[in-house]
């Protein structure tokens, strides 16, 4: 049984190491997803800033002398607004999709690491308990052997004069 527990302990240690490796992969994936989210948020912020600048310029500028100039500026503002909507949509979609999945995967991997650690600790405790029981049993056998030797030795019960 001792060898069975040793094999089981080795399996539990290997499972814990695998879980830790999977967690490291999940952490790396989350970090990549967060970096991508930051890039998307920055793009959305740049688009927002460009639209705000155009809106301020338009408010402070005089009315265009030619209607075509006014239409060009309005189309430019509409393109900026559409670019902002696309960038904000991509950022929101990434936040709710890949980033959330990466975070969920990391939490699941961390839970697997904790579970594998608990399972390994349980086997270690069982093995330690078994070794302690074997040690006690060996001591008892040694004591019994000494007791048997004393009882079986010649001269037991005779008094010396």
Domain chopping of the chain, boundaries: 2-64+74-134
pLDDT at residue 146 in the model: 82
On whether the CB atoms of residues 94 and 8 are closer than 8 A, the answer is no
pLDDT in single tens digits along all 161 residues of the chain: 557 889 999 999 999 999 999 999 999 999 999 999 999 999 999 999 999 999 998 888 888 788 888 899 899 999 999 999 999 999 999 999 999 999 999 999 999 999 999 999 999 999 999 999 999 999 998 888 888 787 777 765 555 55
The CATH number for 2-64+74-134, chosen from 1.10.3470, 1.10.540, 1.10.287, 1.10.1200, is 1.10.287
Tokens of 91: 């950022």
Angle at 55 between CA 50 and CA 95, to 5 degrees: 45
How many helices (H) and strands (E) the chain has is answered by 3, 0
Give the HSE-up count for residue 72: Cα atoms under 13 Å, Cβ half-sphere.
7
Contacting residues for 94 by C-beta, under 8 A, at least 6 apart = 33, 36, 37, 40
pLDDT at residue 62 in the model: 82
pLDDT at residue 1 in the model: 54
Cα 134 from Cα 128, distance rounded (Å):
10
Contacting residues for 44 by C-beta, under 8 A, at least 6 apart = 84, 87, 88, 90, 91
pTM equals 0.72
pLDDT at residue 156 in the model: 56
Pairs from 114-119 (Cβ < 8 Å, separation ≥ 24)? 115/19, 116/12, 116/15, 116/16, 116/18, 116/19, 117/16, 119/12, 119/15, 119/16
Cα 93 from Cα 90, distance rounded (Å):
5
């Amino acid at each position: 049984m001792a060898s069975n527990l040793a094999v089981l302990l080795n399996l539990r240690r290997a499972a814990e190491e695998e879980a830790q490796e999977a967690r490291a992969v999940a952490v790396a994936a989350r970090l990549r997803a967060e970096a991508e989210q930051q890039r998307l948020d920055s793009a959305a912020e740049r688009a927002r800033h460009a639209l705000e600048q155009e809106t301020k310029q338009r408010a402070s500028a005089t009315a265009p002398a030619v209607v075509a100039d006014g239409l060009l500026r309005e189309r430019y503002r509409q393109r900026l607004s559409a670019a902002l909507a696309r960038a904000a949509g991509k950022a929101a979609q990434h936040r709710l999709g890949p980033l959330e999945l990466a975070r969920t995967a990391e939490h699941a991997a961390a839970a697997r690491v904790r579970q594998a650690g608990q399972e390994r600790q349980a086997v270690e405790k069982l093995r330690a308990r078994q070794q302690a029981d074997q040690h006690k049993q060996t001591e008892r056998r040694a004591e019994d052997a000494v007791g048997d030797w004393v009882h079986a030795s010649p001269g037991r019960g005779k008094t010396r004069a």
